[in-house]
Amino acid sequence: MIDTRELGRRPGAMRRLQRVVPAPDNLSSPVIEVTPGSDIDLDLRLESVMEGVLVSGTAAVLVAGECGRCLDALHAGLDVDIQELYVYPGHADPDDELPEIVEEMLDLEPALRDAVVLALPQLPLCKPDCAGLCAECGERLDDVASDHTHARANPRWAVLARLTDLADDEPADDTSPAYDTREN
Ligand SMILES: [Zn+2]
Ligand SMILES: [Zn+2]
């Protein structure tokens, strides 16, 4: 809740508001969330206009989730732009559903929630060029050598693998026991 009394109703009046608020629960998308209870740094400008108060500025939030490519845990800061017009009672146009100023207070949370959820990335990445996971072994590709390959990825080995497959298809006439009895 933000008190608008200090601002006054004279159009053009302006006030900067910097405040740290705890993040509400469930400020999230299916893939990433704002850490509940973490600090949200608000840096807002309140501007008195004819029909109400225009709030604009940024909310700096802390998000947590996992990288959409390599699945590593991800913690990052995100700056979210906020802009919302709050109207005085009686100035509300029923068609445009603007939030109202109630008893000279305005409720920032719905606007904050909408802005943050909209700003959350669809595909969170630990870094923009994250190479993801190796399709063969599941290793994180940024953690392994750049020439990380598997035998099957090499065409020469692929030929050998095919030959081995052919051999396996032949009738097994040289069946050997699982262990060598001569050692006993
Ligand atoms: Zn990653
Ligand atoms: Zn691999």
Q: In the chain, helix, strand, coil percent, each to 5?
A: 20, 35, 45
Structural domain tally of the chain?
A: 2
Distance 134 CA to ligand 1 centre (A): 12
pLDDT of res. 95: 76
pLDDT reading at 177 higher than 60: no
Instruction: Please state, for a pLDDT cut of 90, what percent of the chain lies above it.
Output: 58
Distance 133 CA to ligand 1 centre (A): 8
pLDDT of res. 145: 85
pLDDT band at 158 (very low <50, low <70, confident <90, very high): low
| Same domain flag for 109 and 147 | no
CB contact set of 31 (below 8 Å; sequence gap of 6+): 65, 66, 68, 120, 121, 122, 123, 124
CB 123 within 8 A of CB 136: no
Instruction: For residue 93, tell me if it sits in a domain.
Output: yes
pLDDT reading at 56 higher than 90: yes
| Same domain flag for 148 and 90 | no
Distance 32 CA to ligand 2 centre (A): 27
| Same domain flag for 83 and 152 | no
Distance 132 CA to ligand 1 centre (A): 6
Distance 8 CA to ligand 2 centre (A): 64
pLDDT of res. 14: 95
Ligand nearest to the CA of 127: 1
pLDDT of res. 149: 84
Distance 73 CA to ligand 1 centre (A): 8
Please write the tens of the pLDDT for every residue from 88-134: 987 767 777 889 998 889 999 999 999 999 999 999 999 999 999 99
Instruction: For residue 44, tell me if it sits in a domain.
Output: yes
Q: If residue 87 lies in a helix (H) or strand (E), which one and from where to where?
A: strand 73-87
pTM over 0.85? The answer is: no
Instruction: For residue 43, tell me if it sits in a domain.
Output: yes
| Same domain flag for 63 and 144 | no
Q: Are strands 39-49 and 14-22 parallel, antiparallel or unpaired?
A: antiparallel
Cα end-to-end distance, the chain, whole Å: 84
Q: If residue 117 lies in a helix (H) or strand (E), which one and from where to where?
A: helix 109-119
CB 131 within 8 A of CB 141: yes
Please write the tens of the pLDDT for every residue from 63-76: 999 999 999 999 99
Comparing CA positions, the residue from 163, 153, 133 lying closest to residue 67 is 133
> What domain range includes position 141?
133-170
Which two structure tokens, joined as six digits, stand for 41? 């740094």
